[in-house]
Amino acid sequence: MNRKERAAIVHQRLDALYPDTPIPLEHVDPYTLLVAVVLSAQCTDKMVNRVTPSLWKLADNPHAMSRQKVEAIQRIIQPCGLSPQKSKAIQGLSKILVEEHGGKVPQDFEALEKLPGVGHKTASVVMAQAFGVPAFPIDTHIHRLAQRWGLTNGKSVVQTERDLKKLFPEESWNRLHLQIIFYGREHCTARGCDGTVCGLCKELYPRRRKGVVTNK
């Protein structure tokens, strides 16, 4: 079975398992999604969703957030971890949105990636989930599963993104991004499967006996 054949099976099975793909991070607009994604770095979506209602009471738009003290933001988001860096990033990106983008989140990868605390993955999530622009954000689940499923050599997240974009039709990227995350959390976890346990791993590699060591 080659990569394209494995990709076709993955696509088919995930569509059947996850016909609906709700966005895990609770938000009401592109700005609140952007902030939630920044908070999700090295933090669970569940924890982010617990913290953000209090943060939105403090400020739920760039104008209001840019006027808040970093310390006030940090007190609220502390459970998410990395709160000193994240609080500065949230205030900083809010100021830039007000001063350079009219208080709006830009629909542009380059502009997003210039914001504090926003890398390519965060920009990709916002472009995909807020604006519907085809993107394939690569998180730890996707990077791990793509290697277990033989869809990439996994030398880097950049390589994984490039390989997956070649294997799957562009119109499926945004949906697949979420489907793979859901599957990784529920069936092919970091500790629960090593490439030989879950249903998809066994279907794709029925003769595999040795676990897959994930390239970081």
List residues with catalytic annotation: 121, 139
- Contacting residues for 120 by C-beta, under 8 A, at least 6 apart: 109, 113
Sign of the CA dihedral 187, 169, 154, 181?
Answer: negative
Question: Residue 165 contacts by C-beta under 8 Å, 6 or more apart in sequence?
Answer: 136, 173
Six-digit token string for 120: 């390519």
Radius of gyration of the chain (CA): 18
First to last CA, the chain: 25
Amino acid letter for position 190: A
Q: CB–CB of 77/89 below 8 Å?
A: no
Structure tokens belonging to residue 78: 């502390």
CA distance 104 to 126: 13
Helix, strand, or coil here: 69? coil
The DSSP output letter for 24 is S
Distance separating alpha carbons of residues 50 and 26, to the nearest angstrom: 9
